[in-house]
Amino acid sequence: MTINSIIGTGIFLSPGGVAKQSGALAPFIYVCAAVFAIMLALTFASASKYTRESGAAYAYVRTAFGDNTGLYVGITRFVSASIAWGVMATGAVGTAFQILGYQSDAITFGMRTIGFIVLMVVLFIINVLGTRFRVGIKPLNDW
């Protein structure tokens, strides 16, 4: 799961780079990545029927193997997700600057840092507001 998070982040942020480095094998590489993603999704879907707890991998491993192993998975997932989120956010900020017309060599460390902080604040606000933030979306039970 850790390797999947980190490599997956890189693949989805740089499809041009993947295609350039892999050449004619790019479609095969994306099919392989899709197969691994499907296997992971099916594994999680299958494991979810054994617990009603939230927490994904942590809850599934804890139910199957006990508290200590669940704690280990939870901690390693936190570390790997932190790395993957950092890579993804940095890539997203760089891409946003390129969309705004900046060349990649013109994006300074300070610009990238400010962009990263702005992105994290926006995501924090969305997370805190949660379902209270509605923009003209009618709940399904009102249909």
Share of the chain above pLDDT 70, in %: 78
Res 103: pLDDT: 85
Q: What is the pLDDT of residues 27-80, one digit of tens each?
A: 888 788 788 888 888 887 787 777 777 767 778 788 888 888 888 888 888 888
Residue 117: pLDDT band (50, 70, 90) is very high
Using left for φ > 0, alpha for ψ between -120 and 50, and beta otherwise, residue 138 falls in beta
Segments making up each domain of the chain, as ranges = 2-134
Give exposure, 69-108, as e/b (b: 16+ Cβ within 10 Å): ebeebbeebeebeeebeeebbbeebbeebeeeeeeeeebe
User: Is residue 112 a contact partner of residue 94, using CB atoms and an 8 Å limit?
Assistant: yes
